[in-house]
Structure 1
Amino acid sequence: MKFLISNDDGYFAPGIATLAEALSRHGEVVVVAPERDRSGSSNSLTLDRPLSVRKAANGFFYVNGTPTDCVHVAVTGLLDFRPDMVFSGINHGPNVGDDTIYSGTVAAATEGFLLGIPSVAVSLAGKSGAHFATAAAVVDQLVQRLQASPFQSPVLLNVNVPDIPLDRLAGMTVTRLGRRHYAEPVIKAKNPRGDTVYWVGPVGPAQDACEGTDFWALANNQASVTPLMLDLTAYGQLDGIKTWLHS
């Protein structure tokens, strides 16, 4: 198999090196990642300037753009082959619930999916970043299952793995996205010039974290596997909006 790897933490992040090592046991690996941390960049494309691609000493390519840029450039021009799968990660920190809207990690996988390639975003759900090996073991299991039973059409999976030793992991479970509460207020501060600046506050507590959600899986030491879709149409409102528009 041929894998394209990207992330939003940057080509120098420990998680992407761990992911590349894990996938190299299953086939050919090419890494194309941002030159710096682009967390929270979502699905943004760079359209106001050209992008440059450089190669690091470890063989990873890095781009002065977003995670979406990296996958788009790789698939549509940089690579001389079409990847069998796109993997994004291993992100340091969870991408669950509403976080997926903002996540550059999920965005990189989303771009692969939009280009017709089965894609997986992988995140290590913890602050310490102590157990990337556990997330790598989950990736290894997913690839083995894929090889045994390939997807019949492109899928987009969001995988979150608890930051715990592998022997404490209670398996994988298919989940839906949970929901967070409203975000915490912004944090006001003064810069060295005395101007007021605003830091975006931390994420709020989980509002919907019942059994079956990605939040619940992580709280119970399970890796969550959430299939995502990109159709934003509010089908339940079509008739109501049609009536409103023509009344």
Structure 2
Amino acid sequence: MRVLLTNDDGIHAPGLQALEEAVRQLGWQSVVVAPAFEQSQCGHRVTTHQPLKVEAQGENRHAVHGTPADCVRLALFALDARPDLVLSGINAGGNMGQDIVISGTVAAAREAAYHGVRSLSLSHYLIRDLHVDWSRASTWIAEILRETLVQEQPQRAFWNINLPHLPPGADPLPPRILCRPAHSPLNVAYTSNEHGYAYSASYASRPRDPGSDVEACFSGNVAVSLLHV
């Protein structure tokens, strides 16, 4: 299995390192093509009116001065990556419901699906002031990939997976819940200051639509959704 790894948190993000470790646990070969700097919440933006700078950062590691969707396009059509699978993540923060159209992490997996390459977007919901155990996340993702890749996946579709943020010691992989993206919008609120208006809404206070990815993940389960392009 040859796997392309990317993300939107940047090539040095701990979530990407955790994803690399999960791939190593599975014994797969990987190539990393990821943004040189954080590109969170850039959506499915692509670069077509200026050259994309690519820096080699070791064997099979490429830092792209562009977006996650750019990274996938370059890997497929310029860098000769030839992946069997594209994995995007592990994002530091959830990507559920309305996040899906905003997320660069999800966009990378969507771009791969448009070109007929099997793909998954992987995210880790975060609770403020609770330590993230990226080593545990690696183990969980390796197990999830073993389970998910034996399932039938329709053409032009991809999996969107969100890990819950659990306290230390909760090491067994939580239940996997097949669910739909939430329909309720994200909370929107701003506070004004001398610089303008700062976004101040609470992500954790968003509505938990019954049967949705938000309800599943916020309840301590792994939210698994099949998305179509």
Same fold (TM over 0.5): yes
Amino acid at match of 1:228: L
**What amino acid sits opposite 1:135 in the alignment?**
A
- Segments of 5+ residues of structure 1 without an aligned counterpart are 191-195, 231-247
Name the residue aligned to 1:23.
Answer: 23
- Whether the aligned pair in 1 keeps the contact of 2:98 and 2:186 (CA below 8 Å) is no
The whole-number CA distance in structure 1 between the counterparts of 2:146 and 2:84 is 14
> Who is 2:118 aligned against?
118
Q: 1:162 aligns with which of 129, 148, 164?
A: 164
Which of 1 and 2 has higher RCO (CA within 8 Å, sep 6+)?
2
Counterpart of 2:213 in structure 1 is 214
Alpha-carbon distance, 1:60 to partner: 2.4
Q: Which residue of 2 aligns with 1:37?
A: 38
**Deviation for aligned residue 1:146:** 4.9
Could you tell me how far 1:202 is from its partner in structure 2? Answer: 3.1
Deviation at residue 154 of structure 1 after TM alignment: 4.9
CA root-mean-square deviation: 2.2
Instruction: Report how far residue 203 of structure 1 moved.
Output: 5.1
Scaled by the length of structure 2, what TM-score is found? 0.87
Q: Please report how far the alpha carbon of residue 155 of structure 1 lies from its aligned counterpart in structure 2 after TM superposition.
A: 2.9
**Which is further off, 166-175 or 60-69?**
166-175
Where 1:218 maps in the other structure, the secondary structure is helix
Alpha carbons 2:161, 2:225 under 8 Å: kept:
yes
In structure 2, the partner of 1:243 is none
Indicate conservation of the 8 Å contact 1:168/1:221, yes or no: no
Contact persistence 2:162–2:223 (CA under 8 A) = yes
Structure 2 match to 1:245: none
Give the direction of change, closer, same or farther, for the CA distance of 1:220–1:186 in structure 2 (3 Å limit). closer
Query: Could you tell me how far apart the structure 2 residues matched to 1:103 and 1:2 are?
Result: 24
Query: Is 49-58 or 9-18 further displaced after alignment?
Result: 49-58
Q: Provide the C-alpha distance between the structure 2 equivalents of 1:117 and 1:57, rounded to a whole number of angstroms.
A: 25
Contact 1:125 1:163 in 2 (8 A): yes
Aligned equivalents of 1:10 and 1:60: distance in 2?
A: 12
Residue type of the alignment partner of 2:193: A
Determine what percentage of the aligned residue pairs are the same residue: 30
Contact 2:15 2:134 in 1 (8 A): yes
Match of 1:183 in 2: 187
Please give the secondary structure, in 1, of the residue aligned with 2:207. Answer: strand
How many corresponding residue pairs? Answer: 223
Give ranges in structure 2 of 5+ residues lacking alignment.
none
* Contact kept in structure 1, 2:53 and 2:64, CA below 8 Å: yes
Bigger radius of gyration among the two: 1
1:165-211 CA deviation, whole Å, 9 max, x = no partner?
A: 55354321111111344532233332xxxxx433334356333421x
| Alpha-carbon distance in 2 for matches of 1:10, 1:45 | 16
Output aligned runs, 1:26-175, within 5 Å: 26-57=27-58, 60-79=61-80, 81-127=81-127, 128=130, 130-146=132-148, 148=150, 151=153, 153-164=155-166, 165=168, 166-167=170-171, 169-175=173-179
CA–CA distance in structure 1, aligned partners of residues 152 and 185 of structure 2: 37
Structure 1 distance, partners of 2:47, 2:17, is: 25
Q: Secondary structure at the match of 1:16?
A: helix
Contact 1:162 1:169 survives alignment (8 Å): no
- CA shift digits 1:137-163 (9 cap, x unpaired): 232123323554564645311100012
- Does the aligned pair in 2 maintain the 1:132–1:163 contact within 8 Å? no
**Partner residue, 1:241:** none
Query: TM-score with structure 1 length normalisation?
Result: 0.81
